[in-house]
Amino acid sequence: MQNTSKINPAMQLATDYLETTNTIVFLTGKAGTGKTTFLQQLRQASTKKMAIAAPTGVAAINAGGMTIHSLFQIPFGPLIPATENPDLSYSDEKRELLGSLELLIIDEVSMVRPDVLDQIDLILRTIKGSAQPFGGVQLLLIGDLAQLSPIIREDEWRILSSYYSTPYFFSSLVMQRASYVRIELDHVYRQKEQAFVDILNEVRNQTISEASLALLNARHEPGFRPGAEDSFITLTTHNNLAQQLNAEFLEALPGQLYEFAATIRGDFPKDAYPTETNLKLKLGAQVMFVKNDGSAEKLFYNGKIGYVARIDGSTVYVQCGNESREIAVESVEWTNVKYQLAEEQEQINESEAGSFAQIPLKLAWSITIHKSQGLSFDKAIIDVSEAFAHGQAYVALSRCRTLTGMVLRNPISARNIIGDPSVTRFNQAAESIKPDADSLKRDQERYRLFLLTELFNFQGLKGVLKGFTGLAPNLEKDIMEVAEKFMRRPETADDERIRKAAAYFMDKLKATTENLHGQIPFLIGNSIEKAAKADRLIQWMMARISLLEYFTANPFTTYSFLEKKKTSKAAALADKARSYLRAMNAKPNEELLASILGWREERAAADRVMPNMLLSEQTAASIAEKLPQTLKALSGIKGVGPQKASIYGADIIGMIRAYQQKQSGQEIDQASLF
């Protein structure tokens, strides 16, 4: 992130806020100012445990994350604000994932309803056991309120309007009480013509002058029909019109119709399909790339337009403008990600929930304004004479790189530039409290105090003790109540008071841990599920004891807490916890389990993926316990499935047979392993 930030003070300020505070950041800016670039750089550089979410399937795939509704399992209808703890039917894995979250990025936040944001707040506060907005999780909200707004039906708004003044995220109850900063990116990278940039600013602010309107309408060319080689795309307000134009142009072309079928695996929502499942093309068809070129050559990008020059089997050759070479296009894959907490709990990993493979093209004589958001075009025919929603005209006009590359199908009038006064008021109010170096310093201190309360927040202990009733009889009196009193005024805690508090709670947790030694083995029995829960409990206790012990002798700072938190949850402690459990109650076929886990580490390193993406430890333990003898039996174990069984089955079943023959004293027939 540093290269861009050095030449962009707004990006540097946003980076500082995201690295050194947990203040909510609303990152906004005109179209083409680098919001998406900032997101992708942050995704690579941040050390915080993060997840990325977006309101729609397409936006989620483009951002490299999940939909909000999938990540938080939120229903689609209106959500009445609630103050009581929700009934969360989450798995233990989902609770741990959300409980470990430090940074939540929401892209295209202009389309997020306020009730959805309030529901996220309620869920995170409940899971984190914290009264802080979003349970203390930092949010990065990315979007431009001048662009597309939330889609809310009239019957939905009749319900929600009783609770919210506007349909935008900033009207949520949590944003009314949360401390947040609005950082605006103001350097436009997409457009270079200052006159065009000025016009777009006026459209964005609904302050377009007569002179600017006249300059825009000079681009109106009645009856304009581009030549086949001109690569113009028409932006329309309605989807049926875009589909009709594409179908008509395709049908008018002579020659053979080629069809390409998509391959869809696993969970990939229909609203996230980047192109047609049955893509129909002809030679001469105008097409648009719907993915960036992942190769070193970078021959195409999302939104680049050309025409089909030839088709050879499964390869489509596209000619773009006056470029000297055709681009050979073959099927590529989009991945629908899901998030998993790594076993050592030091990072949140992405894994594949499903995939969509298809030629990365779509017909491009026309596209809706809504689907064009985030794209850039060299040549576009724009029709906003029937604009019906806030931001449509601005989105359409700002897709163009130059004024000369734009043709208006119909003249634009001031009434076509639809704005929302509530957005204007919000932006004006936010402008008066722009963050600076002083506010950053203030928020860094707030973050230190928040982390201090986290050191003495034992709500997580309640969660990991679930199912082990009676193991900590004095939890409420000796730990929870005392901690609550301490956290009421963290700003008054000096180093000496922090050391004494750390020593007190460390002693209490150590006593509780000693109580576990004699009781857990009887509660676990031979249950792998209970053993896994006990594993999480021991890991939580050891990590917190390690943290508290450190601060009995060292000053509390933001840096020291974050660094010690990492090492306290490191793999070494997790291994100690697992060794402790195994000593109390050995898991079935421990030697085989060790072999499977060793193989997992080696294979993951070779495939350059996280070990947990191959097999979780719980899945490995299930394999070691059940000793499957066939691929079908292996695929039936939770966490494996047919795809992993086909890829890794020979290795795993080979280890099982080798282990069994060793146990029986037989020599191993290598050929029988495969």
Per residue in 56-89, pLDDT (tens digit) is 888 888 888 899 998 998 888 888 887 656 667 7
Among 319, 324, 325, which Cα is nearest to 289's?
A: 319
Tell me: pLDDT of 221 over 80.
yes
- CB–CB of 143/28 below 8 Å? yes
pLDDT at position 671: 38
Q: From CA 10, how far away is CA 240, in angstroms rounded?
A: 40
* Average confidence (pLDDT) over 297-313: 90
In sequence order, which residues have a C-beta less than 8 Å from that of residue 352 and are 6 or more positions away?
Answer: 266, 335, 336, 337, 338
pLDDT at residue 282 in the model: 95
- SS3 of 169, please? helix
* HSE, side-chain direction, 13 A CA sphere, residue 403: 18
The pLDDT of residue 649 is above 60:
yes
pLDDT, average across residues 603-624? 77
| Residue 400 near residue 192 (C-beta atoms within 8 A) | no
The average pLDDT across 169-186 equals: 93
Least confident range from 135-139, 142-146, 563-567: namely 563-567
How far CA 16 is from CA of 90, 239, 431, 469, in Å, comes to: 34, 41, 19, 44
Look at 62 and 520; give whichever has higher pLDDT. 62
The confidence band for 525, taking pLDDT boundaries of 50, 70 and 90, is low
At 257 the pLDDT is: 96
Output 180 or 384, whichever has higher pLDDT.
180
Domains of the chain: 2-189 (3.40.50.300), 194-419 (no CATH), 442-584 (no CATH), 590-673 (1.10.150.80)
Q: How far apart are CA 506 and CA 570, in angstroms?
A: 19
Residue 248's pLDDT band (cuts 50, 70, 90)? very high
Q: Does the pLDDT at position 673 exceed 60?
A: no
Share of the chain above pLDDT 70, in %: 88
Task: Find the mean pLDDT for residues 318-347.
Answer: 83
pLDDT class of 570 with cuts at 50, 70, 90: low
Q: Tokens 């990325």 correspond to what residue?
A: 52
246/258 Cα distance (integer angstroms): 15
Backbone angles phi, psi at 587, to 5 degrees: -75, 155
Q: Which of the two residues, 464 and 406, has the higher pLDDT score? A: 406
Min mean pLDDT across 262-266, 496-500, 625-629 is at: 625-629
Residue of 605 and 486 predicted with greater confidence: 486
Asked if residues 354 and 264 have their Cβ atoms less than 8 Å apart, the reply is: yes
- What's the rounded Cα separation, in Å, for the pair 213 and 430? 28
Cβ 449 vs Cβ 490: under 8 Å? yes
Confidence category of residue 577, pLDDT binned at 50, 70, 90: very low
- Which pLDDT score, from 0 to 100, does residue 174 have? 96
How many angstroms from the chain centroid is the CA of residue 196? 34
Question: In sequence order, which residues have a C-beta less than 8 Å from that of residue 405 and are 6 or more positions away?
Answer: 377, 378, 379, 380
Which region among 348-362, 370-384, 530-544 has the lowest average model confidence (pLDDT)?
530-544
Is-contact 307 318, C-beta < 8 A?
yes
Cite the beta strand spans of 77-124 per DSSP E.
103-106
Amino acid at the residue 299: L
pLDDT score for 469: 64
Nearest partner of 426 among 197, 178, 200, 169, judged by Cα: 169
- Residue 124 pLDDT more than 60? yes
Is the model's pLDDT at 406 over the cut of 90?
A: yes
pTM, full prediction: 0.75
Give one DSSP letter per residue of 393-432, joined into a string: HHHHHHTBS-STTEEESS---GGGS---HHHHHHHHHHHT
Instruction: Classify residue 278 by burial, with Cβ atoms within 10 Å: 0-12, 13-18, 19+.
Output: exposed
Q: Which of 113-117, 298-302, 308-312, 330-334 has the weakest average pLDDT?
A: 298-302
Would you place residue 413 in the very low, low, confident or very high pLDDT band (cuts 50, 70, 90)?
confident
Closest to 532 in 3D by CA, of 594, 607, 585: 585
d(CA 302, CA 132): 39
Q: How far apart are CA 302 and CA 232, in angstroms?
A: 16
Q: What is the rounded average pLDDT of the residues 626-630?
A: 90
What single-letter DSSP state applies at residue 170? G
- What DSSP character marks residue 150? P
Residue 123 three-state SS: helix
Mean of the per-residue pLDDT values of the chain:
84
How far apart (Å, rounded) are the C-alpha atoms in residues 386 and 403? 21
pLDDT tens column, 423-480: 888 988 888 778 999 999 999 999 999 999 999 988 878 777 776 766 677 777 888 8
Instruction: Measure the CA–CA gap between 150 and 117, rounded to whole angstroms.
Output: 12
- pLDDT interval class at 347 (50, 70, 90): confident
Q: In this predicted structure, what is the pLDDT of residue 572?
A: 39
pLDDT value of residue 668: 39
Percent of the chain with pLDDT over 90: 38
Residue 70 three-state SS: helix
Token digits of residue 349? 């990993």
**Contacts by residues 484-491 (CB-CB < 8 Å, ≥ 24 positions apart):** 486/456, 487/453, 487/456, 487/457, 490/449, 490/452, 490/453, 491/449
